[in-house]
Chains A and B, each alone.
Chain A
Amino acid sequence: GAVVSQHPSWVICKSGTSVKIECRSLDFQATTMFWYRQFPKQSLMLMATSNEGSKATYEQGVEKDKFLINHASLTLSTLTVTSAHPEDSSFYICSAPGDSSYNEQFFGPGTRLTVL
């Protein structure tokens, strides 16, 4: 199956700093990628849809100025958490639909963000 990578796998940062997370589709192109957030013992909540060549669309309640998304190419989307606070500590996972007719979603391994 298709492979999606994320970098870094974990990051610890100080409150007030910005953190960038990369999501790459390794063997296929993705015009759309999705970013999810998962708090401990909770399910995955969709944050935003990243669109190559256009602005991301954000789910209700997600601050677009805080979570900056850039879909720089057909294989790369980045999520930047700006001015991170401890409440932003979470597990961030990206996904991309494969290019087969099944349109299966392929997920990255996730990035665990801890804000001190």
Chain B
Amino acid sequence: KQEVTQIPAALSVPEGENLVLNCSFTDSAIYNLQWFRQDPGKGLTSLLLIQSSQREQTSGRLNASLDKSSGRSTLYIAASQPGDSATYLCAARANQAGTALIFGKGTTLSVSS
């Protein structure tokens, strides 16, 4: 059964720092992997989607990488801003039709000004 782990659970950084959030998954046979952002009490905002055949995806200051063989993904945030403060969730989808995403517990990021 797929398990997704995110490290660290919480992270505090000053504004302007570059940072990396880590995600690992136990079953490398994934279809794709998504990174989400969740603000307190809110729903999910999809940030990046990486297909199993891809190595990375970029959107603005965000860059997500995927290494299937090692079961790892990272989310790189450049030049962090206070508005980046949120919980970041990593989710993997099994390599089967009609399967749901399995989520990690998330990393709660706090960026201070």
Q: Are B98 and A105 in contact (CB under 8 A)?
A: no
Residue in A42, A95, A102, A109 whose CB lies within 8 Å of B101:
A95
Tell me if A104 is interfacial: C-beta within 8 Å of chain B: yes
The answer, yes or no, to whether B43 is at the interface (CB within 8 Å) is yes
Known: A93-B43, A105-B93, A108-B43. A49 touches B100 (CB 8 A): yes
Task: Give the interface SS of chain A, mostly helix, strand, loop or mixed.
Answer: strand
Assess whether B109 is interfacial by the CB under 8 Å rule: no
Q: Is the CB of B93 within 8 A of A102?
A: no
A43-B104 in contact (CB<8A): yes
B25 interfacial contact with A, CB 8 Å: no
Q: How many A residues face the partner with a CB closer than 8 A?
A: 24
A32 to B93, CA, bound (A): 14
Residues of chain B within 8 A of A105, CB atoms compared: 34, 46, 91, 93, 100-101
Q: Which of chain B's residues have a CB closer than 8 A to the CB of A49?
A: 98, 100
Residues in A59-89 with C-beta less than 8 Å from chain B: none
A43-B106, A44-B89, A103-B31 known; A109 and B43 CB under 8 Å? yes
Listed in ascending order, the chain B residues whose CB lies under 8 Å from chain A are 31-32, 34, 36, 41-44, 46, 49, 51, 89, 91, 93, 98, 100-106
